[in-house]
Structure 1
Amino acid sequence: MTSDKIEIDTLVIGAGQAGVAMSEHLTKLDIPHIVLEKGAVAQAWRNGRWDSLRANGPAWHDRFPGMEFIDISPDAFVPKEQVADYFATYAEKFNAPIRTGVEVTRVQRNSGRPGFHIETSAGIIEANHVIAATGPFQRPVIPAIAPQDTHLTQLHSAHYRNPQQLPAGAVLIVGAGSSGVQIADELQRSGRQVYLSVGAHDRPPRRYRSRDFCWWLGVLGLWDAANQPGKEHVTIAVSGAHGGHTVDFRELAQQGVKLVGVTDYFHNGSVTFADNLKENIARGDENYLQLLDAADAYVARNGLVLPEEPGARHFLPDPECLTQPILNLDLAAAGITSIIWATGYAVDYSWLDVDVLDNQGKPQHQRGVSNEPGVYFLGLPWLSRRGSSFIWGVWHDAKYIADHIATRRSYFRYQDV
């Protein structure tokens, strides 16, 4: 990309799974476009997570319809580097017009004429349509309660790579979604004492009656569920590590992880936890059992021959940290030298100087179509349904947006007659 001004029908910002999917659909519809990526294709998969991360869905499910993973069992959970390679190869398959190493710094609505003026690190672009495909993992969030203690190593889960990265000593992990539980398990297995702060969560079975939970959500129609108010920030405790397994907090405790409730505050070298661990575990159990009930009902209703699994309903005894919860902890006495904040991310659209965000900086849209004609969002959780967070869901959301742009272009053609 040169420093000369470029005019293009559609600009896609971001070349992760969302941007690659978007480019494929635009290519199929012969819509001229460019994809800009400030790093490398699928860089978040390759460099934005810990070393041992694997996809949380099996290979048969977590992919685009047009290409399977090479030399990977359909039921395996793909290592992150191979996921990144998959998207890079997929983009090459249809010669996606991706320009890497280019950062978008500002997008403005043109005055008195259609389209948008886009400032980038490589020059100016004029486009009729702009698609923000930068995804939800833009700015790691560490809450304001984080202690101002220079003796502690503190990092967000986005910057955790492996146990050797941390100084000797125990670790407090705040947040027990997929990232928090997998990092806790890895650190405990490496010989660390781990304290895991558990909040509200959903806890689906990894597999039940010989089917992965991704399959169950599909046949039960739950991937198409709309967002429920208050549920959009509830984490999902599920893992693709060690061949994929159901997250069981009681098992983690039996393994040696100390479970605690939600982290409330730090003061004078100690940390205080809410007395809600038992409630949070119970609600996760309830979510787990509800899916088992729905799966059993589906099997009976459809006459399927799938092996029964009564053992899936048996829980380990409650560990001491659940029956006698830790509500306060002296960090030094507990030997804690590190805190990992598995506390999620915030979106960052500071470069988008168009009236499409609410007063909290979040996109205003319907299925990715913003309230400003010509601006779109892709790759966000619950963009259109529950499945939007998964790779295949992004692909289908991209198709809807591409079709919307094609329709809009037809109106422009009529206007030009």
Structure 2
Amino acid sequence: MENEQIDVVIVGAGQAGIAMSEHLGAQGIEHLVLERDRVAERWRSWRWDSLVANGPAWHDRFPNMQFDADPDSFVGKDGVADYLAAYASMISAPIRTGVEVISVRRHNGRSGFRVETSEDTIDARFVVSATGAFQKPVIPPLVPADSALHQIHSSSYHRPQQLPDGAVLVVGAGSSGVQIADELRESGRTVYLAVGPHDRPPRSYRGRDFCWWLGVLGKWDMAVPPAGAEHVTIAVSGAHGGHTVDFRSLAADGITLLGRAEAVVDGVMTFADDLRANIEAGDANYLSMLDEADAHIARNGLDLPEEPQARVIGPDPACVTTPVRSLDLAAHSVTSIVWATGFAYDYDWLQVAALDELGRPRHQRGISSEPGVYFLGLPWLSRRGSSFIWGVWHDAKYLADQIAIQRGYLAYEAPALAAR
């Protein structure tokens, strides 16, 4: 039986796969989107119940459809998933759900790829990996897996009630860690939060959202992260209608801040002596953005209200002035650890020369080192905005153009050959 033939196979039906489908469809390029779960499944099941988008509805969306929500609101995770599913339906994206891609291998002696799936085998001329940045949850090997502690990754956390009674240690102070820690505190839990290096931008300033400021200041178009900031997390939140993350306020509300988690010996976790430095570096990042915003307003003569209170930095809490360097987890009734420690790549299925020795994509703006294979939806794929809904849409357009160019080359016949 002959394998199904298709021009382009897109792996993944999240925001990246849907955006890629739109642009390929607009160019009349035959393609198929394969998704092992449901459309936008990561938004539905890999997020906690109360999660909202970190960007306002007016900004973090595809250009051709608005959210059915207040433009300045922060849409909940299910609303984002529903939006993506509706968008896929609007563009008639050819998506097959419940189909897992087992392997992609290059054909021998001819162009294209053999795509083995849980249902059948497909021959494709091009393959786009649109599986995004959230592939394999990372839990540092600090606490033995057979420990009595209940350990989960933030991608498996949904609500406070799923955790056993007792105090909770949240490790990681990016958007996920901060919001989960705050939710646990609001539920009445005793919460400890390990804070590593982070950027702490203002949620809004002088009447404009953080996303707007990144746009007018040209920061969404940064091609690479600042030196030394490749792995620095961003502490920004759309929760409670959107607010600037303030670690001092979290401490004032009862969360004990700790430095970066280092090791566990005999049930005692130790922490680096870097809490003050991490918080002060976050403050410097915050204030520098206010400085840039003020300079932009003055340079362009904008009539935006002054906000002097935004520069007020409160006093350091006791957990910063006298940091806790070690914590006997049992003695402090810690029964759970939520690891908000990010994700690693998982491309075991992609068995072509498109990955480096650590399994990371080798690419230039999404065009991989393996001709015919493309990556989409990764952080900093082409610019800072690449992993956001609106950013991935623009990256997808570029990749669709590249595929169209390659199809043109493949379709060319030299006059002498055509005459034979």
* Residue 195 of structure 2: aligned partner: 198
Measured in 2, the distance between the counterparts of 1:61 and 1:353 equals: 37
Query: 1:173 maps to which residue?
Result: 170
Out of 92, 95, 98, the residue aligned to residue 95 of structure 2 is 98
Question: Does 1:183 find its partner at 2:180?
Answer: yes
Which whole-Å CA distance do the structure 2 matches of 1:269 and 1:207 have between them?
41
Within the alignment, does 1:406 sit opposite 2:404 as a pair? yes
**Counterparts of 2:368 and 2:4, CA distance in 1:** 24
CA shift at 1:144, angstroms? 1.4
The reply to whether residue 134 of structure 1 matches residue 131 of structure 2 is yes
Contact 1:4 1:123 in 2 (8 A): no
Structure 2 Cα separation of the partners of residues 415 and 181 of structure 1? 58
Can you list the C-alpha shifts for 1:226-256, whole angstroms capped at 9, x where unaligned? 2234322210000010001100000000000
Q: How does 1:317-332 map to 2 (within 5 A)?
A: 317-332=315-330
The Cα shift of 1:194 comes to 0.4
Counterpart in the other structure of 1:152: 149
Question: What is the Cα deviation at residue 148 of structure 1?
Answer: 4.2
Preserved contact between residue 260 and residue 325 of structure 1 (Cα < 8 Å):
yes
**Corresponding residue for residue 214 of structure 2:** 217
- Say whether the 8 Å CA contact 2:14–2:39 is kept in structure 1: yes
* 1:206–1:244 CA contact under 8 A, matched in 2: yes
Quick one: distance in 1 between partners of 2:316 and 2:126?
55
Q: Distance in 2 between matches of 1:34 and 1:148?
A: 40
| Aligned twin of 2:47 | 49
Distance 1:135 1:194 in 2: 31
Q: CA deviation at 1:5?
A: 2.0
Aligned counterpart, 1:314:
312
Alpha-carbon distance change, 149 to 353 in structure 1, aligned in 2, over 3 angstroms: closer
Q: Distance between the aligned counterparts of 2:338 and 2:384, measured in 1?
A: 28
Whether the aligned pair in 2 keeps the contact of 1:364 and 1:370 (CA below 8 Å) is yes
Counterpart position of 1:283: 281
| Aligned with residue 335 of structure 2, among 311, 334, 337 | 337
Residue among 386, 391, 397 paired with 1:388: 386
SS at match of 1:118: strand
Q: Give aligned pairs, total.
A: 414
Amino acid at match of 1:249: F
What is the rounded CA distance, in whole Å, between the counterparts of 1:23 and 1:47 in structure 2? 23
Q: Any idea what the Cα deviations from partners look like across 1:331-352, whole Å, max 9, x if unmatched?
A: 1111100000000000100000
Residue 86 of structure 2 aligns with an amino acid whose one-letter code is T
Are residue 117 (structure 1) and residue 104 (structure 2) matched?
no
Output the CA distance in 2 between the equivalents of 1:219 and 1:415: 47
Q: How far apart in 2 are the matches of 1:136 and 1:83? A: 17
What stretches of structure 1 move > 4 A for 4+ residues in a row? none
Distance 2:413 2:248 in 1: 64
Give the residue type in structure 2 aligned to 1:100. T
Aligned to 1:7: 5
CA contact (8 A) 2:18 2:88 kept: yes
Identity of aligned residues (%): 64
- TM-score, with structure 1 as normaliser: 0.98
Task: Give the structure 2 partner of residue 230 of structure 1.
Answer: 228
Task: Specify whether residues 117 and 415 from structure 1 end up closer, same or farther in structure 2 by C-alpha distance, changes over 3 A only.
Answer: farther
User: CA separation in 1, counterparts of 2:297 and 2:158?
Assistant: 41
Task: Note the 1:369-388 alignment, pairs <5 A.
Answer: 369-388=367-386
* 8 Å CA contact 1:232, 1:382 repeated in 2: no
Please name the residue that 1:16 is paired with: 14
Tell me, yes or no, if the aligned pair for 1:224 and 1:385 is still in contact at 8 Å. Answer: yes
8 Å contact kept, 1:4–1:124: no
Could you tell me which residue of structure 1 aligns to residue 66 of structure 2? 68
The aligned amino acid for 1:246 is T
Displacement of 1:4: 6.4
Cα distance in 1 between the residues matched to 2:241 and 2:325: 34
| Contact kept in structure 1, 2:167 and 2:191, CA below 8 Å | yes
The answer to whether the 8 A contact 2:220-2:385 is kept is yes
Q: Which residue of 2 aligns with 1:89?
A: 86
> Within 2, Cα distance between the matches of 1:7 and 1:136?
28
1:35 to 33, 36, 54: 33
Q: What TM-score comes out, normalization by structure 2 length?
A: 0.97
Over the aligned positions, Cα root-mean-square deviation in angstroms equals: 1.0
1:150 Cα offset (Å): 3.0
Aligned residue type for 1:300:
A
SS at match of 2:281: helix
Secondary structure of 2:151's partner? Answer: strand
CA distance in 1, matches of 2:48, 2:293: 33
Aligned match of 2:262 in 261, 264, 277? 264
**How do 1:344-355 residues align onto structure 2 when only pairs under 5 Å count?**
344-355=342-353
Counterpart secondary structure, 1:329: strand
Give, in angstroms, the shift of residue 415 of structure 1.
3.8
> Do 2:133 and 2:387's aligned partners in 1 also have CA atoms closer than 8 Å?
no
- 2:284 maps to a residue whose letter is E
Q: Where do 5+ consecutive residues of structure 2 fail to align?
A: none
